[in-house]
Structure 1
Amino acid sequence: MVRRDTCITVGRYGRSDHMSTPCTVCAAPAALLSDLDARIAAGDAGRYVVHRELAANGITVSMEAARKHIAHIRAGEQGIPSHAPGQLRLTTLDQAVALPPVPTVTAPQPAAPRGYEPGVRFERGAKAAVVTLPPAPTAPGEGDCAAYLRGLGIDPDLYILEPIEVRTNSHGWTRDDPEGAAVTQQTFFARFRVTRREAAADGFDVDELLATVPALAAAAVDRPATGAGESLLVGLADWQTGKRDQGGTAKLVERLAALGPAIVARVGELQLLGRNVETIYLVGLGDLVEGCKGFYPMQTFSVELDRRQQIRVARRMLTEIVKTVATLGIPVVVSGVAGNHGEQRDGSGKAFTTPGDNDDLLVLEQCAEVFSLAEGYGHVSFVIPDQELAHTMDLSGQHTVFTHGHVARGGWAGLWTWFKNQRAHGKTSATIAVVGHYHHLHVENDGLLTLFQCPALEGGSDYFSTAMGSTTVPGTACALVSSAFGVRDLAVL
């Protein structure tokens, strides 16, 4: 009975239960191999004998191949020739000489240095393309560039061709020699900027256009207040009531007393310009009071009012401003946000209560209670956030977000980052952000977005001026805001 798990092979010297073995020596001529295998089976030939006998017959094999051949012969295994029988032969010298010559292969030389490959490159967002011409034996000109473009199917007459770079290699080489030899030849590489020509005005009459200017100017005079309604935004920023520096509280009260009449006058100016002011927004942008401790060195000894006095003065001045503006009969919305100087801070300078526990919001709430008890102010309303440090309102269809500015980090760039992050994460739908905190006017537009930083009304800081060299120019910014016109008619009162 034959076991089915063993491959039975019959070799030259009998039966074996082993698999056939690939063998290099088994490809030797049969006559030589028969005599050699008999000597191996008889134990008269080792690997050195096998290697020597094969070499004497012009066959070279490794010692390892000889060892493997001996092993499978003595084990009774059948060898499988790794070459066709009789083909394991050395090539004679005569045969080697008769072989066809190896062809000479020359590595292709680049037609141009790296970065100067011929072609046309268009940069994303650019109004022009860069054309790199093929290498030439003479310096290329505008005509060469035009010919190259024409060869690419591009009409050069539609473009302005400007040379921007010409490079030469005095040791360049070419095989243009009639005998095919490499010869040295100066080579030029050139780049051109290609800009599409603007279409010329066809039949445009400049004289006719300029003749309409007097009529256009006359139509703008005494224009009535018509058109889309707009909101007048007034940014009440950084009063810092109670501060001693730069004239202190007395000078601040003078500026605040003049602010109400200045707002009324500004509304009149806008109406003369034909603006339809439908609502006035008085928005406190934080730091209406100075605070007494924890905001800068030596603050406790540099303020001239305690906390209760600061709140009292700020409340009274805000009340006077609202009363004056309300005389216009236009709806007035009073709102605001919490600033850092209104926080309740401990000895370490850190706020220890809630974000809404802020003196800026306290002033607004007290003022709101005053007008809720007074008659004749039904057109005055208050919008006061609870714990939010930023809130959004609709100003004549234009969503606008307000915050003091201390929640952002990194100055002006940090404010932009904060604004865009608020929009990206769905915190606000506003396209205008209004802030204070940095005490100077800065307005910037970025596409559909506008960042509006209002100046401070306080007189400046001796400490800051000594440290930084600059100071504040007191003022209150106002501007018209609407979905129809965005932000316009900016003024500092």
Structure 2
Amino acid sequence: MTLDLDKLKSLATPQRKEWEPGMRWDGETGYVTTAPISSEEGAPTSEVWNHVLDEFGLDPARYVIDGPVRQSAWTVPGHGLQRSYRARIVERPERRFDIEDLLDTIWADGEYPDNPGAEWRTIQIGDTHLAKGSLDGGGTDKLIARWQSSVTEALNLGGHYEGVHLAFLGDLIEGEVSQGGANIAGNDLTLTESLRVARHLVSWTVQEALKVGNEVIVSAVGGNHGQTTRVQNRPHTDNHDIDVVSAVQQAFELSGLDERITWYYPEDGTNHVVYEVGGTVFASTHGHTFKGGPVAGAAKWWSGMCASNRPAAAAQVLMAGHFHQPVIQNFTSDKWICFGGALETQSTWIHEQNGTTSKQGMLTYVTRDGEPFEFSIV
């Protein structure tokens, strides 16, 4: 068959079909596509996205852009480079909470058995992610209930103690820096509200511990969700998690209720703290300090601390969070690695990556003479 080049040349060139603006919404999720935007205008700002949503009949107060934005670019003769943007839209989580009512639910009195004991009760409290919305595996009302039930159950396990050790291991709040701030859309509390709730819960927890312990030791380290910003590097101690606990300490000191409480925090430039609890030496940090998985990363970090004779070398128990999975590892004959769990139903982000879930709750155990025992997830 012979091709007639003259006829082929005379055929009309079909007009290029560009990416047309539009919206698709199925009642739960969907996509919105902008009209062409000149390259000089740049990517749409949040105000522009709100205007686009409004144009397609979606109330920006109810719907929000979620996740990465896809773009398409092409050249138009006489108009230069044009771009169009396509983004996923989701319904904003319903703000169902009156913050004062939410705080009132925290202050219910708990009763505990009065049996004398010589042990220290440790409760590892981390990855509570207050303000994480229900679509992301949380729901602040549920997280508060789980926090309180976990603490109450832990303090009920053995009656009265020589002391209670409360280790706050970071990520107490969901914060607003994860995923470049994209997680904000799923939060069901503002940042200031989540900090208020966290301070109330920490204060309640300390007061409950005082009911069953002759002494209470409190420590706090900063988690990655507690970071104040990721725009630039900040000191490890510039962290909402540490600020929450230190604010509670100040309240106890001002009220004169701190006589039986000792508080520990990392020194400037560090994100771990080492201290003694009833004859047992603890090292406390958040798991994002480690490189690698929980046990392998913690073991490498601790080995390095031991090799360089850092204070953590003296610890008998290394506590951490971050991985949302309870893990207990007898590192050496006299050293233990203890990762706590999380309170959420699941981390939707982690679950979508690999399907991982874990048991909800806090890790608690008893220590005597440098050895932990009677481990429980409560």
The answer to whether structure 1 residue 480 and structure 2 residue 366 are counterparts is: yes
* Code of the aligned partner of 1:255: R
Q: Within 1, Cα distance between the matches of 2:369 and 2:320? A: 20
The corresponding residue for 1:252 is 143
The answer to whether structure 1 residue 415 and structure 2 residue 298 are counterparts is: yes
After the TM superposition, which residues 41-440 of structure 1 pair with which residues of structure 2 at under 5 Å, given as runs? 229-244=118-133, 245-268=136-159, 277-295=161-179, 298-347=182-231, 351-387=232-268, 388-411=270-293, 412-427=295-310, 428=312, 429-440=314-325
The corresponding residue for 2:57 is none
Q: Within 2, Cα distance between the matches of 1:325 and 1:399? A: 20
Q: Taking structure 1 as reference, are residues 431 and 305 closer, same or farther at Cα in structure 2, changes over 3 Å only?
A: same
Q: Within 2, Cα distance between the matches of 1:433 and 1:356? A: 19
After superposition, the CA RMSD in angstroms is 2.0
The corresponding residue for 2:91 is none
Q: Within 2, Cα distance between the matches of 1:278 and 1:321? A: 17
Look at both structures and tell me which one has the larger radius of gyration over its CA atoms.
1
**Deviation digits for residues 143-198 of structure 1, max 9, x if unmatched?**
xxxxxxxxxxxxxxxxxxxxxxxxxxxxxxxxxxxxxxxxxxxxxxxxxxxxxxxx
**Deviation digits for residues 397-434 of structure 1, max 9, x if unmatched?**
22211111111101121111101111111112112211
TM-score, scaled to structure 2: 0.64
The answer to whether structure 1 residue 447 and structure 2 residue 333 are counterparts is: yes
The corresponding residue for 1:74 is none
Q: CA deviation at 1:332?
A: 0.7
* Code of the aligned partner of 1:289: I
Q: Which runs of 5+ in 2 are unaligned?
A: 1-114
* 2:363–2:376 CA contact under 8 A, matched in 1: yes
* Code of the aligned partner of 1:345: T
* Code of the aligned partner of 2:328: V
**Deviation digits for residues 307-330 of structure 1, max 9, x if unmatched?**
211111111111111112212252
* Code of the aligned partner of 1:234: I
Q: Which runs of 5+ in 1 are unaligned?
A: 1-223, 272-276
Q: CA deviation at 1:298?
A: 3.0
* Code of the aligned partner of 2:266: P
* Code of the aligned partner of 2:184: T
Q: CA deviation at 1:246?
A: 2.6
Q: Within 2, Cα distance between the matches of 1:366 and 1:356? A: 14
Q: Within 2, Cα distance between the matches of 1:483 and 1:329? A: 17
* Code of the aligned partner of 1:257: Q
The corresponding residue for 2:25 is none
- Structure with the higher fraction of residues in strand conformation: 2
Percent identical among aligned pairs is 25
**Deviation digits for residues 332-358 of structure 1, max 9, x if unmatched?**
1111111111112245xxx53211100
* Code of the aligned partner of 2:262: S
Q: CA deviation at 1:304?
A: 2.0
What is the SS of the residue equivalent to 1:439? Answer: coil
What is the SS of the residue equivalent to 1:298? Answer: helix
* Code of the aligned partner of 1:333: I
* Code of the aligned partner of 2:228: Q
